[in-house]
Amino acid sequence: MTKLDIHDDWLPLDNAAKIYPSTASIKSPAEFRMAATLSGPVRLLYLQSALENTLPRFPYFQVYLRRGFFWYYLQRNNKIPRIELMQNVPVGIISVKERTAAMLRVSARGSDIAVDFSHILTDGNGGLRFFLTLLAEYVRLSGVEVSAHSNIFDLNQQPSPEEFEDAHRTQFLSGKTVDPGKMPPAYHVPGRVFLSKRYRLLNGRAPVAKVLQLTKQMGVSLTEYLTAVYICALIRIRKEEMEHGKRRRRSIIRMEIPVDMRRYYQTASMRNFSLFLSPEIDMKLGEYTFEEVLRQTHHSMQLLKSRKELQRQITRNVGAEFKPFVRYTPLLIKDIVLSSVYARLGEQLHSGVISNLGRVDVPDEMLPFIDSLYFMLNPNHVMKKCCAVLSFREELSITFGSVIESRSLERYFFEQLIRNEIPVSVKEL
Amino acid sequence: MPICRNCGVEIEENLDRCPLCSYPSREVPAKGWPFHRPEEAEPAGRMNAKDRKQSHDREESAVPLESAGPLETEGQLKSAERDDRVRLLFAEVTGFIALAGGVVVFAVDFAYGMAVTWSRFPLAAIGFVWILMSIPCWLRRRIYLIICAETCNMILFLFLLDAFTPDNLWFMSLALPITAGLGTALLLTTGCIRRFRLSVLGSISMVLIAMGLWILWIEMLINRFLDGRVYVSWSLIAAASVVPIIAFLFNFDWRLKKHGSNLKKHFHV
């Protein structure tokens, strides 16, 4: 096993990131965006300076992707990317296979600032902390001191070795465990994917207090509630398809729910440390009411996110990486095998994804500068849609990404919220 | 500070063009001005600090943190049971195939009045292959025991072949010492790799050293068998030819460890 030395000029990929370079493509982008709308126009000079001050504090993000003989690795560099003009297409493709392509991109337009991250670098939590640190530095350069906060890094401190570590490996339980088991392919929303690289975003906003009050009454968590709403929207679409005489559709509706493992394990790692829950329902078992879907989602997610079940996933994922056959297979062959296996098995397993970053807190001094925060995911061409959620101030922000024209899923999703007496305002980004 | 009329960011004064979108700072923007601020969402009721805290607590408590006790190995136990079952199944299947083959050979021999001269060879070969495949199942990961047992199995097989041939001249003088030499070389190589925790390159070097010594041993035995005296000729050249390879591998390994990064990053596993 390669030991991590933070003084080396390179870094091995973390366990979760290892698959992305082989599988990332326009059809299956592994990227996400953190964005903010400021209360005034972006001061470009300040933003560039803020980036120059912030990025060296995160050396594990200041990297290029390079090919090794057995694995990809991250080559460190000292370059600070220039601020780019935010494109109309919210999240473009970061070409990770270019030799000197930055793995994150900071862009601005008007009052909007966005940072696009490749998932090879980090997960949503790591991305959020970088983004908030960048915003805090921008605010500080604007003349307002920002007080210390857990989400914001001190730029005068050196990065700790723990920030570099692959937390999957540190939590790896040696020895064999029973695999989580094979899952049959899941149902996917129909629709022709846009021919261009563009995709569209729809953002819905709801008062977070109202939603939490509702979920409290129902005895479920916010993520469970939103997952159930998403599943019900998928059920309606599937039912409509069947009524219109479409051929038999897959009966399993299965969601992909990322879980931030930092909630379970003490780690300062800034790299990927997330796993997925996969609650599902089988439409062969009959019609489901919303309440039934909610109960089933709640109970299955409670079971799936037990510490031991998640440990099982870690052990399987890291154990696969440690197999001599996998380790010593040349990268060229790994690329071919991983991309074909991922296309046939990985992408087919889930009908949709909801990633909930939870509540985002910032120091009070920053609040006057920020109107709203956004979290966006790149949908792949199999699921076609995805949903990213965060709450900031009093608002719950739900952003759907879509690579198809149809808006049925989003419509059914927000209709369910409104049926539950939650006021929602929707806009296209 | 002036604001770019195309992309809307604030830019420094006295700039002719926006550094972000290169739009001339004095020109009127093109039709379909792309810069737009998202419309304000409908205002939601404000929460006081207590409500926010409760909401936050609620979100946090939505993911219960279970007690961080020792992670139990129920899965591992099940996995071990499954491995045992697989091993048993493998032993049964190979045993059945070997038995079936043995019975067929014996039946043919029996049908011809036990006069088939070659029948003992396939019987011995079937027994040898069956034991060869079964030993790793029986001894699992006890590598030293596996090497010893496989060596003994090979010696037994060669002894039987020698015994079945009319002029049994070669077992004691050739087969036994060569096979024992191979077993010893394997044991020593495995021991060194494990003891010194050699890297992949170090392990390959160790295997090459063992092979070089073993072919020297083979030639000495063959020469003694054929000429009645011990000397080496061709095997010395063969053994010497692997020395540069071994030196290169050791040097490469040393450079990896010392200067590490540049080579390690390309070949890390």
Please identify among residues 137-156 of chain A the ones whose CB lies closer than 8 Å to any CB of chain B. Answer: none
User: Which pLDDT does position A127 carry in this prediction?
Assistant: 94
What mean pLDDT do residues B141-169 have?
89
CA nearest B121: which of B109, B134, B133, B113?
B109
Cα angle A281, A287, A293; round to 5: 45
The series of mean pLDDT values per 10 residues for chain A, 429 residues long, is 68 88 82 92 93 94 89 89 79 62 87 92 93 96 90 91 85 64 86 75 91 93 95 92 76 91 87 90 90 94 86 81 85 88 80 93 93 90 91 93 89 91 87
Q: Which residues of B touch A47 (CB under 8 A)?
A: 9
Q: Which residues of B touch A328 (CB under 8 A)?
A: 200, 269
d(CA B16, CA A226): 49
Q: What are the CA-CA distances from residue A160 to residues A35, A201, A272, B169 (Å)?
A: 26, 37, 16, 71
Lowest mean per-residue pLDDT among A7-11, B83-87, B150-154 = B83-87
CA of B251 to nearest chain A CA: how many angstroms apart?
19
| Residue A183 in tokens | 């899952």
The pLDDT > 70 percentage for chain B reads 76
Facing residue for B269 by CB, picked from A212, A263, A327: A327
Partner-chain contact B63 A75, CB within 8 Å: no
Please determine, for residue B210, whether its predicted confidence score (pLDDT) is greater than 80: yes
The pLDDT > 90 percentage for chain B reads 30
Exposed / middle / buried, residue B226 (Cβ in 10 Å: 0-12, 13-18, 19+):
exposed
CA of A252 to nearest chain B CA: how many angstroms apart?
25
d(CA A80, CA A55): 7
3-state secondary structure of A38: strand
Please identify among residues 346-385 of chain A the ones whose CB lies closer than 8 Å to any CB of chain B. Answer: 358-359, 361, 371-372
Provide the 10 A C-beta neighbour count for residue B201. Answer: 17
Partner-chain contact A305 B63, CB within 8 Å: yes
A417-423 long-range contacts, CB within 8 A, separation 24+: A417/A204, A417/A206, A417/A211, A417/A229, A420/A214, A421/A210, A421/A214, A422/A206, A422/A207, A422/A210, A422/A211, A422/A214, A423/A206, A423/A207, A423/A210, A423/B42, A423/B44
What mean pLDDT do residues B29-55 have?
40
Partner-chain contact A44 B19, CB within 8 Å: yes
Using DSSP bridges, classify how beta strands A200-207 and A280-282 pair: parallel, antiparallel or unpaired: unpaired
Give the type of residue at A105.
R
Mutate to test the interface with B, among A38, A44, A83, A315 (most CBs of B within 10 A): A44
Q: Which residues of B touch A327 (CB under 8 A)?
A: 269
Partner-chain contact A311 B39, CB within 8 Å: no
Residue with the bigger pLDDT between B46 and B193: it is B193
Partner-chain contact B78 A178, CB within 8 Å: yes
Residue B48: half-sphere exposure toward Cβ, Cα within 13 Å: 1
pLDDT tens per residue across span A63-111: 988 888 899 999 888 889 899 988 766 555 566 556 667 788 999 999 9
Residue with the bigger pLDDT between B80 and A16: it is A16
d(CA A278, CA A163): 28
Facing residue for B79 by CB, picked from A8, A88, A177: A177
- Asked if B206 and B191 count as a contact pair (C-beta separation under 8 A), the reply is no
User: Which pLDDT does position B52 carry in this prediction?
Assistant: 42
Please determine, for residue B58, whether its predicted confidence score (pLDDT) is greater than 50: no
Measured in residues, chain A has a length of: 429
Contacts of A241 (CB under 8 A, 6+ apart): A190, A249
pLDDT band at B16 (very low <50, low <70, confident <90, very high): confident
pLDDT tens per residue across span A257-296: 999 888 888 888 999 988 889 999 998 898 899 999 999 9
Residue with the bigger pLDDT between B78 and B181: it is B181
Mutate to test the interface with A, among B5, B10, B15, B47 (most CBs of A within 10 A): B10
Facing residue for A425 by CB, picked from B42, B63, B264: B42
CA nearest A279: which of A356, A351, A189?
A351
Please identify among residues 219-278 of chain A the ones whose CB lies closer than 8 Å to any CB of chain B. Answer: 220-224, 259, 263-264
Partner-chain contact A395 B55, CB within 8 Å: no
Q: What one-character-per-residue DSSP string does B158-223 give?
A: HHHHHHHSSS--HIIIIIHHHHHHHHHHHHHHHHHHHHTT--HHHHHHHHHHHHHHHHHHHHHHHH
Cα angle A153, A156, A159; round to 5: 60
Q: Which residues of A touch B199 (CB under 8 A)?
A: none
CA nearest B33: which of B6, B11, B8, B2?
B6
pTM as predicted: 0.70
User: Which pLDDT does position B61 carry in this prediction?
Assistant: 36
Give the type of residue at B40.
E
CA of A243 to nearest chain B CA: how many angstroms apart?
36
Q: Which residues of A touch B34 (CB under 8 A)?
A: 88, 109
pLDDT tens per residue across span B17-26: 887 777 887 6
d(CA B125, CA B102): 10
What mean pLDDT do residues B226-233 have?
89
Q: Which residues of B touch A311 (CB under 8 A)?
A: 71
Please determine, for residue B41, whether its predicted confidence score (pLDDT) is greater than 60: no
| Residue A59 in tokens | 């050396």
Q: Which residues of B touch A302 (CB under 8 A)?
A: 64
B155-162 long-range contacts, CB within 8 A, separation 24+: B155/B179, B155/B180, B156/B128, B157/B124, B157/B125, B157/B127, B157/B128, B160/B120, B160/B124, B161/B121, B161/B124
Exposed / middle / buried, residue A213 (Cβ in 10 Å: 0-12, 13-18, 19+):
middle
Please determine, for residue B3, whether its predicted confidence score (pLDDT) is greater than 60: yes
d(CA A178, CA A371): 48
User: Which pLDDT does position A325 carry in this prediction?
Assistant: 85
Helix crossing, B176-195 with B200-227: angle to 10°? 160
d(CA A167, CA A206): 35
Please determine, for residue B78, whether its predicted confidence score (pLDDT) is greater than 80: no
